[in-house]
Structure 1
Amino acid sequence: MASSYRVYYSFPFHLLLFLSSLLSSSADLSFNFYANSCPLAEFLVRNTVRSATSSDPTIPGKLLRLLFHDCFVQGCDASVLIQGNSTERSDPGNASLGGFSVIERAKNAIEILCPATVSCADIVALAARDAVEAAGGPVVEIPTGRRDGNISMAANVRPNIIDTDFSLGQMIDAFSSKGLSIQDLVVLSGAHTIGASHCNAFDGRFKRDTKGNFELIDASLDNTYAETLMNKCSSSEESSSLTVSNDPETSSTFDNQYYRNLETHKGLFQTDSALMEDDRTRKMVEELASDGESFFQRWTESFVKLSMVGVKVGENGDIRRSCSSVN
């Protein structure tokens, strides 16, 4: 779990230039945006995340995944939170998302002190940031001032999210379309160091024989690890509800164990294994596996970039009073 002290990572010069260019084009986005209008905003989000995590250690992984699914579809605008028919949240690709109640609790607490001031989009980004810290990861300072989107369409989900059987080329294309690099892809894949996934998210790596038993068909997977997965996911009736830890070694701790798992062919998804099998990404995996501090530093850079994908600011968005519905 998180240590008793907080470790901050400073931004390298190239990232400062990147942030400067983004912030200059988005005058309404800045660090400590709510210093005057709602000074307790970030404190309330952090406390809500910590409280939820103390009673449910799966919360950090859920909050981190929620940000990915929000930002990759129409940008980081909290549109994934909107409930209703044909919304992003209703799409089967988002059926396994969680952490919504944590966002709502944080929003409700903030609304009491600062009504109509803090966006749900900022809360989602801050909650994901704080989830990493709660799991023992680095403390990342992110700019705030995002506005909420009021359009949420299920049809936008599938063309934008990454399926677990994507090739490396498909992943690179998806990240590139969001302004994210190959390094961002490898680093942000490290999010799989926490959290859990349903068996049907990776059962394409196996097939069932005539007796209904699993057989390994993906040669990139370690045989012993594959056997463990097959045993855990053996019930066909429950394969859509059974879950397995993304990281078989340190599932509740945000660290670089994910990359060491890849080196021993214990990546849960085909998309994980692909990073170790391709020359374009293998060296980065090996470097991150050998240096946890480097992973934290690079995570800080890539996470900030992710949290700013397609942000809405000023008149381009809204501040929703309820995160699950439009005003």
Structure 2
Amino acid sequence: MEKGATVFPFPVAVSCLFIIFILATSVSGSLFFNFYAASCPTAELIVRNSVSSSSSSDPSIPGKLLRLVFHDCFVEGCDASLMLLGNNTEQSDPANRSIGGFSVIESAKRVLEFLCPGTVSCADIIALAARDAVALTGGPMIQIPTGRRDGMVSVASNVRPNILDTSFTMDQMINRFSNKGLSLFDLVILSGAHTIGTAHCSSFRDRFQQDSKGKLTLIDKSLDSRYANELMKECPLSASPSVLVNNDPETSMVFDNQYYRNLVTNKGLFQSDSALLSDNRTRRLVEDLAKDQQFFFQSWGQSFLKLTTIGVKTGDEGEIRSFCASTNA
């Protein structure tokens, strides 16, 4: 981030303050709104500027920041353990090698360390950056409490037992979310993060198979055939591993409820997306969200708050890192 970057405009906030207050104060050790009001009053503004500046030069940044917060919070809690570099850390697991957005967090951290040394955690920066990424792309601007501290443990073997895979069944997803204190409702709402961002061809290649002539054919009949043909053109067998496809084929740069409209027309990119429509436990909610963007935005605020308070460290737990990529020890 360049110092003095222009702050981007945010849409009108969509918040359920009563629910947010209850959830925030129920966290062990407690997180607070405006936690840095006295110690570093411009903290949230600096993070916002970092997201804005980085996104202006790389439109893929908002989607990367959303994926980053998910992968961080589902392993060791929201404590920036995913930021740590080293042998056998979370970043070294193949599931995390395509994670991006680290530079945005580090840029904000450098400015914050200059202005308010030893004050703002990397964990808070990750949560705030993801919040701002949603607002930047047209989604709701919500308040989230801060006061998270950075963890000191990051182990690759902890990744796979905790994160979700795009090939998961509904029961597998429910189990992973339940283990993190998230409900079936949260699962459907937070899956809406796929309304922005991109994916590698390998993440949905299991929906196709190679025929006797060496061509890809559709084997997952829950996928719209025309959409499937478009995917096969974008991701032929000869495609480079670096080829990316938009999660949302309609409004890939906008945080909206198009993701759910895609689902009801059988255009969910991942098998785990399509499962939300095919399962009777979630189909009605998907249909409701496809019809009502305001409902999605209000629900997003509640579920995103729960996501970003998973396993937080507060008080005397953890530390405030000087550099996000390494512990202070």
Q: TM-score, normalised by structure 1?
A: 0.96
Q: What is aligned with 1:208?
A: 210
Indicate if the aligned counterparts of 2:10 and 2:135 stay in contact, CA closer than 8 A: no
> 1:1-327 to 2 correspondence within 5 Å?
4-11=9-16, 13-22=18-27, 25-27=28-30, 29-236=31-238, 238=240, 240-327=241-328
CA distance in structure 2 between the aligned counterparts of 1:206 and 1:119, rounded to whole angstroms: 43
Equivalent position SS for 1:141: coil
Indicate if the aligned counterparts of 2:19 and 2:302 stay in contact, CA closer than 8 A: no
Q: Deviations over 1:138-166 (max 9, x none)?
A: 00110000000011000000000001000
**Superposition deviation, residue 236 in structure 1:** 3.2
1:276 aligned partner, one-letter code: L
CA distance in structure 1 between the aligned counterparts of 2:238 and 2:263, rounded to whole angstroms: 27
CA distance in structure 2 between the aligned counterparts of 1:236 and 1:67, rounded to whole angstroms: 32
**Superposition deviation, residue 19 in structure 1:** 3.0
CA distance in structure 1 between the aligned counterparts of 2:245 and 2:162, rounded to whole angstroms: 25
Distance 1:3 1:254, change over 3 A: farther
Indicate if the aligned counterparts of 1:78 and 1:120 stay in contact, CA closer than 8 A: yes
1:32 aligned partner, one-letter code: N
CA distance in structure 1 between the aligned counterparts of 2:9 and 2:327, rounded to whole angstroms: 39
**Superposition deviation, residue 314 in structure 1:** 1.4
1:94 aligned partner, one-letter code: N
Indicate if the aligned counterparts of 2:195 and 2:259 stay in contact, CA closer than 8 A: yes
Distance 1:3 1:313, change over 3 A: closer
1:321 aligned partner, one-letter code: S
CA distance in structure 1 between the aligned counterparts of 2:82 and 2:216, rounded to whole angstroms: 34
Equivalent position SS for 1:197: strand
Distance 1:4 1:86, change over 3 A: closer
Q: Deviations over 1:246-283 (max 9, x none)?
A: 00000000000000000000000000000000110001
Indicate if the aligned counterparts of 2:196 and 2:252 stay in contact, CA closer than 8 A: yes
Equivalent position SS for 1:204: helix
**Superposition deviation, residue 315 in structure 1:** 1.3
Distance 1:193 1:237, change over 3 A: closer
**Superposition deviation, residue 15 in structure 1:** 4.8
2:185 aligned partner, one-letter code: Q
Structure with higher helix content: 1
2:81 aligned partner, one-letter code: S
CA distance in structure 2 between the aligned counterparts of 1:5 and 1:304, rounded to whole angstroms: 18
Instruction: Percent identity, please.
Output: 61
CA distance in structure 2 between the aligned counterparts of 1:96 and 1:287, rounded to whole angstroms: 33
**Superposition deviation, residue 14 in structure 1:** 4.7
CA distance in structure 1 between the aligned counterparts of 2:198 and 2:10, rounded to whole angstroms: 26
Equivalent position SS for 1:244: strand
**Superposition deviation, residue 17 in structure 1:** 3.0
Distance 1:237 1:265, change over 3 A: closer
Ranges in structure 1 where 5+ consecutive residues have no aligned partner: none
Indicate if the aligned counterparts of 1:3 and 1:136 stay in contact, CA closer than 8 A: no
Equivalent position SS for 1:280: coil
Q: TM-score, normalised by structure 2?
A: 0.95
CA distance in structure 2 between the aligned counterparts of 1:16 and 1:123, rounded to whole angstroms: 20
**Superposition deviation, residue 137 in structure 1:** 0.6
1:92 aligned partner, one-letter code: P
2:34 aligned partner, one-letter code: N
Q: Deviations over 1:97-116 (max 9, x none)?
A: 00011111010111110111
Equivalent position SS for 1:207: strand
Equivalent position SS for 2:316: helix
Indicate if the aligned counterparts of 1:256 and 1:289 stay in contact, CA closer than 8 A: yes
Q: How many residues align?
A: 322
Distance 1:268 1:237, change over 3 A: closer
CA distance in structure 2 between the aligned counterparts of 1:228 and 1:132, rounded to whole angstroms: 27
CA distance in structure 2 between the aligned counterparts of 1:216 and 1:88, rounded to whole angstroms: 34
CA distance in structure 2 between the aligned counterparts of 1:105 and 1:299, rounded to whole angstroms: 27
Indicate if the aligned counterparts of 2:10 and 2:141 stay in contact, CA closer than 8 A: no
1:280 aligned partner, one-letter code: R
Equivalent position SS for 1:279: coil
2:107 aligned partner, one-letter code: R
Ranges in structure 2 where 5+ consecutive residues have no aligned partner: 1-6
Q: Deviations over 1:181-207 (max 9, x none)?
A: 000000000000000000001100001
